[in-house]
Structure formats: structure tokens, C-alpha cells
């Protein structure tokens, strides 16, 4: 696990809104960040500074304009910004886990299968994947009666826990966490803190956005500031 | 989505394909590689050239220029339009499937559901009645079709059931590549959701490659790994499906994405 790192160099990302006559909104400019395994980086900065945008660029969900997002996995280096779609999909299967703020799932797929999917994608037998998904859902206090129901109608906090379970069911070397405790009460929040710390101790590299300062204090090994561009200029 | 196979050759290699209808452009200068296990979505409004492209790729139409190479089991990448008509037809029977929007275009309405599947299997050499019937039942089961109705005519089925039979008919010969033209186009949303989930599962489990033409971005998001956006016969943007939909770069893609109705 020690030969895993993420090196972001000179990363810039802007949005061009064509419906507004090509209005250009710069969000990140010449951003640098190095993350090693066993680290948990907390991104800090005001809303709209580009913290979520940075996570999405690392997941290749957003296309960065320039710079490098070099992922070094046991000597194999891939620049996520320019990688072909099939390379990115492979990384998402094996290397990068992402817990977004909102759950996006296929209609009518039961919760337990939504959670088990990252394992099924890796050809882990259905019964083992299901057992692990159930264990994690139980740990996150998602009531057992909900496991066979698709999560579309769940409360915000329940959906968030399903999302967290999906992100933590497999030992991804890199975890991107966008406000993983935002809609959770204190008890469930502390389960998530435990999961994050366990992941870091097993050697995961973690980059997260944690608005709750208590949560941040319990998980972060380093704070990295993301400044809004106007203020930085 | 399920594991992409690690193979170092594309299954389909498309280079600068152009098709005109008289002086009208069907599609122009389209190039891409499709890899084993990959699902490519092609989106765009009516008249954007997506169906023309699909028909060229599946050799139903001959392009005016460009090359479409297919990775044959026997001799690797071969240009489809240099093959003989007989070779091409054999390939369509053994390696490919085509799921039409309207099941009537892909089914024989005068024979039973079971016979629709058996017929495809006989076309590739199956002869023993018991085996054919057993296999037809197996594939009908995979698409969650009520086996008790396998001897009934497709005209007595609902649209969703007909579409299931059409999909089973295509899967029964173990194809490597499936073309789909608006596969859930004419169906109720509830039937559509179940069928999409089923298609996604089957494509993943069987390791199939697929090219799915749709005007429905939600369908494209659910089914495809990769997306190509077409307008006026040309590909204006392509990339990872969620990237194209969440961070569209081209003005036309931005317009398409911002036009989706939210429920």
C-alpha cells in the first residue's frame, strides 16, 4: 500500500456556459496537491471555492482544463485528466471510491444490491457480496426492513448512509468523500468517523470535505485550503 | 457496471465513416473504437444521424467513405465492406444482435415466442428439437418472460413482453456485439425501468459489447459506459458518460442536458 500516491500539479478548471454567450467561470487555477497513502486530507474553504469541483475532477466526473492528476498505483502512473474512458472506469472499479452528496442509482434496484455492486463488479460471489453489504448497512444503522427496498424513497440521512456503505464496502486505495456526514445525526456520524479512520489505518489515501469541525478534527491528518479565485487574485 | 475485459484489441474500429443520402448528410467523418465489454451510447435529436450511423455500423447501409473493421474470431480486424455478402451475413447471425425499437421489426409475428428464438439457433446450426426448446426456455427465463406463454404468438403479447422476446432472440446465439435502436422507446416508464435494469445486468453478466442509440439521456446514463453526442450528422462531443452529462463541453450538449425535465 505504501507505493500509492496522488499528485495533482498545476490543475485548472473552469466552466464555460454557452447559453450565456460563452461566459467563463474559473474555479480552480494552478492547484497543487500531493496525497500519500495513510493520509486524510480535509479540504477547507468557503462554499463555492471549488472543493467539490476538485473531487469531481479527481474522479474524472468533471473534465479539468489543464494540469495533471497523476495517480501512482504500485508504479503504474495514470494521468486521470487525459486517461481514456475505459482506463478511468477501471480505476473507478479498483482504485478510486467516491462518496458523493447525493445518491444516484438505478430505479428499482434494492438497497442491499446497490451497496454490494462495487463487490459484484469485481466478481465477488453474490452471497459473499450481499453478506458484506448487510453487515455494513447494519453497522450504519440502516434498518433491516429497508434492505430489500430501493433507496429512492429513503430520507436524506438514510440515502447518505447507503452511499457511504457503497464507498466503504471495498478497500479502495483512494477515497473521495464529499460531506459524508452532512445529513447524519451524531451517533451515525461517529460510525462514519470510525469507518474513515479504519480506512486510513489500513493505508487508504483520503481526500474529503467535512464542514463539521468536530468531524474534521477527528479524521483529518492535514488541512488543505481551497481559495475562491476572486479572493486569491 | 460490470468488469470490462482486459483485451488489447478493439472489437470494432470505426474510421472516418461518412454516409450521404443524395446530397443530404447522413453522418460525417465518425471515428471511434469499441472495446470488448464496453457499452457505447449514441445520443442526439431526431435527424442527428445516429440511426444512419447505427445502420452503417451494422452493415445495413454502406457508407460512402471510411472503414469499419470488426475483430473476427478467425482472423482479427477485418474491414466489413471487403467481406463477401455471405461472410457478412454469417457474422450477423453468429456474432451480432440487433434490437429494434419496434419489436415487430425484429420478430416474426407469425410464429410463437419459442420458435422466434429457435429459428435464430437453427440458423447457426442447432438441430436437436429438445435442445433448442430447452435453450429457448432458458433465454426466455433470462429476460423474465412467462415460460407458460412460450408457445403463444407475439401478437398476443404486450409491448414489453414482445421486447423481451426480441432481446432473448438476440441473445440465444451468444453474440459478442449487440446494436440497440431505442430499445425501450415505446414502453411505459415502469416497464422501461425493469427492462433497462435487465439489459444492464445481461450485458454485464455476458460481457457483451453494445452500441445503443437513444434520444433519452437517462437511458444513456443507465446503460452506457461511454457516450457520443451527434448533431447534424457529426459527433460533437464524446467521453465518459457521466462526464459528458455532468460537465458537458459543447454548446449543443449543454443545451441537451439543460433541456431534461426534472421529476
Please judge whether A89 and B194 are an interchain contact, meaning their C-beta atoms are less than 8 angstroms apart. no
User: Nearest-CA residue of chain B relative to A107?
Assistant: B193
pLDDT at B194: 79
What chain A holds in terms of domains, given with CATH numbers, is 27-225 (3.40.50.300)
Tens digit of pLDDT for each residue in A93-122? 999 999 998 887 777 789 999 999 999 888
Q: Side-chain half-sphere of B21: how many Cα atoms within 13 Å?
A: 10
Please judge whether B197 and A108 are an interchain contact, meaning their C-beta atoms are less than 8 angstroms apart. yes
Cα(A120)–Cα(B3) distance, rounded to whole angstroms? Answer: 9
- Of B25, B7, B19, which Cα lies nearest the Cα of B81? B19
pTM greater than 0.80 (yes/no): yes
Chain B residues whose CB is inside 8 A of the A120 CB are 2
User: Nearest-CA residue of chain B relative to A18?
Assistant: B251
Chain A residues whose CB is inside 8 A of the B193 CB are 106-108
Please judge whether B4 and A121 are an interchain contact, meaning their C-beta atoms are less than 8 angstroms apart. no
**Contact status, residue A181 vs residue A29, Cβ threshold 8 Å:** no
C-alpha cell at A81: 485528466
Alpha helices (H) along chain B: 50-57, 85-94, 103-106, 113-123, 129-142, 159-171, 189-206, 217-223, 241-246, 251-258
Tens digit of pLDDT for each residue in B6-34? 457 899 999 999 999 988 899 999 999 99
Chain B residues whose CB is inside 8 A of the A90 CB are 4
pLDDT at B45: 86
Q: Measured between CA atoms, how close is B247 to chain A, in angstroms? A: 5
pLDDT at B168: 93
Task: Tell me: pLDDT of A1 over 80.
Answer: no
- Detail the DSSP E strand segments found in chain A: 4-17, 23-36, 40-44, 66-73, 76-79, 96-99, 174-178, 205-209, 222-225
Please judge whether A17 and B254 are an interchain contact, meaning their C-beta atoms are less than 8 angstroms apart. yes
Chain A residues whose CB is inside 8 A of the B192 CB are none
Amino acid at each position: 500500500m505504501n507505493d500509492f500516491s496522488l499528485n495533482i500539479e498545476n490543475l485548472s478548471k473552469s466552466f464555460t456556459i454557452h447559453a450565456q454567450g460563452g461566459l467563463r467561470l474559473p474555479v480552480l487555477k494552478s492547484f497543487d496537491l500531493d496525497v500519500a497513502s495513510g493520509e486524510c486530507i480535509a479540504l477547507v474553504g468557503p462554499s463555492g471555492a471549488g472543493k467539490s469541483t476538485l473531487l469531481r475532477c479527481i474522479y474524472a466526473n468533471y473534465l479539468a482544463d489543464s494540469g495533471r492528476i497523476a495517480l501512482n498505483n504500485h508504479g503504474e502512473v495514470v494521468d486521470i485528466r487525459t486517461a481514456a474512458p475505459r482506463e478511468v472506469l477501471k480505476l473507478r472499479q479498483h482504485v478510486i471510491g467516491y462518496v458523493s452528496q447525493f445518491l444516484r442509482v438505478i430505479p428499482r434496484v434494492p438497497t442491499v444490491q446497490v451497496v454490494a455492486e462495487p463487490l459484484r463488479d469485481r466478481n465477488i460471489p453474490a452471497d459473499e457480496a450481499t453478506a458484506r453489504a448487510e453487515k455494513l448497512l447494519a453497522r450504519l444503522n440502516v434498518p433491516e426492513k429497508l434492505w430489500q427496498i430501493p433507496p429512492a424513497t429513503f430520507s436524506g440521512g438514510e440515502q447518505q448512509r447507503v452511499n457511504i456503505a457503497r464507498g466503504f464496502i471495498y478497500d479502495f486505495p483512494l477515497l473521495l468523500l464529499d460531506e459524508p456526514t452532512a445529513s447524519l445525526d451524531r451517533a451515525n456520524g461517529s460510525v462514519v468517523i470510525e469507518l474513515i479512520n479504519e480506512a486510513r489505518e489500513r493505508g487508504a489515501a483520503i481526500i474529503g470535505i467535512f464542514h463539521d469541525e468536530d468531524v474534521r478534527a477527528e479524521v483529518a491528518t492535514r488541512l488543505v485550503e481551497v481559495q475562491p479565485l476572486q479572493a486569491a487574485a | 457496471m460490470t468488469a470490462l475485459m482486459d483485451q488489447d484489441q478493439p472489437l470494432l474500429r470505426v474510421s472516418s465513416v461518412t454516409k450521404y443520402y443524395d446530397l443530404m448528410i447522413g453522418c460525417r467523418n465518425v471515428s471511434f473504437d469499441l472495446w470488448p465489454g464496453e457499452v457505447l451510447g449514441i445520443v442526439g435529436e431526431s435527424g442527428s444521424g445516429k440511426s444512419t450511423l447505427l445502420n452503417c455500423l451494422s452493415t445495413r447501409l454502406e457508407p460512402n467513405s471510411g472503414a469499419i473493421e470488426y475483430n473476427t474470431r478467425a482472423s482479427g480486424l477485418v474491414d466489413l465492406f471487403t467481406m463477401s455478402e455471405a461472410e457478412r451475413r454469417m457474422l450477423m447471425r453468429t456474432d451480432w444482435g440487433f434490437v429494434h425499437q419496434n419489436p415487430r421489426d425484429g420478430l416474426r409475428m407469425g410464429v410463437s415466442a419459442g420458435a422466434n428464438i429457435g429459428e435464430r439457433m437453427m440458423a447457426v446450426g442447432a438441430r436437436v428439437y429438445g435442445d433448442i426448446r430447452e435453450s429457448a426456455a432458458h433465454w426466455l427465463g433470462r429476460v423474465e418472460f412467462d415460460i407458460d406463454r412460450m408457445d403463444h404468438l407475439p401478437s398476443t403479447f404486450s409491448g414489453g413482453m414482445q421486447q423481451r422476446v426480441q432481446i432473448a432472440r438476440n441473445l440465444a446465439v451468444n453474440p459478442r456485439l449487440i446494436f440497440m435502436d431505442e430499445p425501450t422507446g415505446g414502453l411505459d416508464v415502469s416497464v422501461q425501468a425493469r427492462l433497462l435494469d435487465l439489459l444492464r445486468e445481461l450485458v454485464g453478466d455476458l460481457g457483451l459489447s453494445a452500441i445503443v442509440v437513444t434520444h433519452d439521456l437517462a437511458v444513456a446514463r443507465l446503460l452506457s459506459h461511454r457516450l457520443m453526442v451527434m448533431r447534424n450528422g457529426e459527433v460533437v462531443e464524446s467521453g465518459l458518460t457521466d462526464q459528458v452529462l455532468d460537465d458537458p463541453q459543447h454548446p449543443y450538449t449543454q443545451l441537451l442536458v439543460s433541456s431534461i425535465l426534472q421529476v
